[in-house]
């Protein structure tokens, strides 16, 4: 199994991957606090983009409501911590099944009744919006007034309760993003991965070939939603406040999918490249404008729009397939 992870991976790719990991591992030693915050955001979006990619990139099911699973993970773990003092890792054991069940519910509704394509996407938005309105009225999680986690001045990092400095969250997200990468690679190399790709390319043909498309699409939805909920737990304990309007909002779902789309849907490096490019370059753009004494509110959104336009027009498969060819890496590794 382990050896299959490296099948068709060139030595150059391994060296580059190793260099990237070493660079990211050592980054907090040289990064300023601000840069560390930006890197945390990049890793957060890289991880969550990887989770979304399972559903859309591998199995071909477009979800525009992934903020639902972030919110469910965040609220479940945060509420358990606030009300019962249950730590986030135990909370995760509840949050993951809750999000997985929500994903299974949506998947069952859609796939059993043959809701596909844009209609499936609308269904995912609808359920996320339903959750947003519902959490606005849920008094147990403080409704629209917001759920606040108690915070204090932390002199040391408490990994068990996720209370501490940003650097702790950085390493958690780095490990999570790396594991998600390996996990997705393993999935793609497995029987399930091949079935997903078959479904993505032509569902009718896959069914004709004997693939239980309902089952494998359900697996994709459940894995993707469960993985996404972990990001929600980290989000809750990093920001320490949750508002339904912010967590479940459709703009959050769009933020999640931008990285993989720009980086390359269905590729393993796409979500990572996309997260680095969008978050990293937009911050660089803001810094450059600032250095020139130019203050343009909304410049980042304009940049996002420009990137999307550029990718759609020039690189419809995303940046990674093009980049991997340019740097001489095998296309087959995606």
Partner 1 sequence: MKRKSPSKSLSKGASVSRRVFTAGLGAVGFTAGIAPFNIVRAQGAALKVGVLLPRSGFQAGIGQDCQRGVDIAAGLLKDMGLPNLQIMNADTETNVDVARSRAEKLIGEGAQVLVGAFDSGQSSAIAQVAEQKGIPYVINIAAAPPITEQGYKFVFRNFPTGGMILGGAFAAQKEIFASVGAAPKTAVFLHVNDTFGTSMAGGIGAVMPKFDMPYKIVETISYDPAARDLSVEISKAKATGADALLMVSRLNDAILLTREMVKQRWSPMAIMSMGPGWYEDQYLKTLGKLSDGPLSFVPWYDPNKPLSKTLEAALAKSSPGVSLNTNHVYTFEALLIAADAYKRAGSADPKALADAIRATNITNNVSPGPGIQFDAKGQNDKLKISGIQNRGGKLLTVAPKEAANAKAEWPLTPYDKRA
Chain residues binding partner 1 by CB under 8 A are 32-34, 36-38, 41, 136-137, 139, 143-146, 148, 150-154, 165, 239-241, 243-246, 283, 287, 295, 297-298, 300-301
- Cα Rg, the chain, nearest whole Å: 20
Q: How far is the CB of 133 from partner 1 (least distance, A)?
A: 8
Q: How far is the CB of 145 from partner 1 (least distance, A)?
A: 5
Question: Could you give the CA distance from residue 141 to residue 134 in angstroms, rounded to a whole number?
Answer: 11
Nearest CB to partner 1, comparing residues 144 and 330: 144
- Look at residues 224, 234, 248, 201 and name the one whose alpha carbon lies nearest to residue 67: 248
Question: Could you give the CA distance from residue 92 to residue 73 in angstroms, rounded to a whole number?
Answer: 7
What residues contact 161, with CB distance under 8 A and at least 6 apart?
A: 87, 88
Nearest CB to partner 1, comparing residues 216 and 243: 243
* β-sheet bridge partners, residue 148: 241
Question: Could you give the CA distance from residue 46 to residue 52 in angstroms, rounded to a whole number?
Answer: 10
Nearest CB to partner 1, comparing residues 101 and 250: 250
Question: Could you give the CA distance from residue 120 to residue 51 in angstroms, rounded to a whole number?
Answer: 18
Question: Could you give the CA distance from residue 326 to residue 177 in angstroms, rounded to a whole number?
Answer: 24
Q: How far is the CB of 108 from partner 1 (least distance, A)?
A: 29
Say how far residue 165 (Cα) sits from the centre of its chain: 22
Nearest CB to partner 1, comparing residues 85 and 298: 298
In order of 81, 101, 147, the CA distances from 163 in angstroms are: 12, 28, 17
Question: Could you give the CA distance from residue 131 to residue 243 in angstroms, rounded to a whole number?
Answer: 12
Q: How far is the CB of 72 from partner 1 (least distance, A)?
A: 18
Q: How far is the CB of 248 from partner 1 (least distance, A)?
A: 11
Q: How far is the CB of 20 from partner 1 (least distance, A)?
A: 22
Q: How far is the CB of 101 from partner 1 (least distance, A)?
A: 26
Nearest CB to partner 1, comparing residues 163 and 334: 163
- Is residue 28 classed as helix, strand or coil in its secondary structure? helix
Q: How far is the CB of 113 from partner 1 (least distance, A)?
A: 28
Question: Could you give the CA distance from residue 244 to residue 223 in angstroms, rounded to a whole number?
Answer: 24
Nearest CB to partner 1, comparing residues 87 and 244: 244
Nearest CB to partner 1, comparing residues 136 and 317: 136
Which helix or strand (DSSP H or E) is residue 255 part of? helix 250-263
* DSSP structure class, residue 267: -
Burial 169-203 (b: 16+ CB within 10 A, else e): bbbbbbebbbebbeebbebbbeebbebbbbbbeeb
Nearest CB to partner 1, comparing residues 244 and 263: 244
């Amino acid at each position: 199994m382990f050896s299959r992870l490296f099948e068709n991976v060139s030595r150059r790719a391994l060296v580059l991957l190793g260099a990237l990991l070493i660079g990211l591992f050592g980054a907090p030693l040289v990064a300023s606090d601000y840069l560390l915050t930006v890197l945390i955001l990049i890793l957060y979006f890289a991880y969550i983009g990887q989770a979304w990619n399972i559903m859309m990139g591998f199995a071909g099911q477009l979800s525009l409501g992934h903020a639902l699973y972030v919110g469910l993970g965040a609220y479940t773990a945060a509420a358990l911590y606030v009300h019962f003092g249950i730590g986030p890792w135990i909370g995760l054991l509840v949050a993951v099944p809750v999000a997985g069940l929500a994903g299974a519910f949506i998947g069952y509704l859609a796939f059993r009744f043959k809701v596909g394509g844009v209609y499936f996407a609308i269904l995912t938005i609808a359920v996320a919006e339903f959750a947003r309105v519902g959490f606005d009225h849920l008094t147990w999680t403080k409704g629209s007034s917001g759920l606040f986690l108690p915070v204090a001045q932390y002199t040391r990092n408490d990994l068990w309760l996720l209370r501490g400095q940003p650097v702790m969250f950085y390493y958690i997200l780095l490990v999570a993003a790396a594991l998600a990468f390996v996990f997705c690679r393993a999935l793609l190399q497995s029987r399930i991965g091949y079935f997903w790709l078959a479904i993505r390319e032509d569902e009718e043909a896959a069914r004709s070939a004997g693939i239980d498309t309902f089952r494998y699409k359900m697996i994709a939805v459940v894995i993707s939603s469960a993985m996404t909920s972990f990001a929600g737990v980290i989000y809750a304990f990093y920001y320490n406040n949750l508002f339904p309007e912010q967590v479940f909002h459709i703009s959050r779902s769009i933020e999640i999918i931008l990285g993989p789309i720009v980086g390359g849907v269905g590729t393993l490096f796409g979500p990572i490249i996309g997260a680095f490019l969008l978050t990293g370059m937009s911050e660089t753009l803001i810094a450059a404008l600032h250095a020139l004494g130019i203050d343009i509110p909304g410049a980042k959104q304009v940049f996002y729009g420009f990137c999307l336009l550029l990718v759609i027009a020039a690189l419809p498969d995303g940046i990674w397939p093009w980049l991997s060819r340019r740097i001489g890496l095998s296309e087959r590794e995606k």
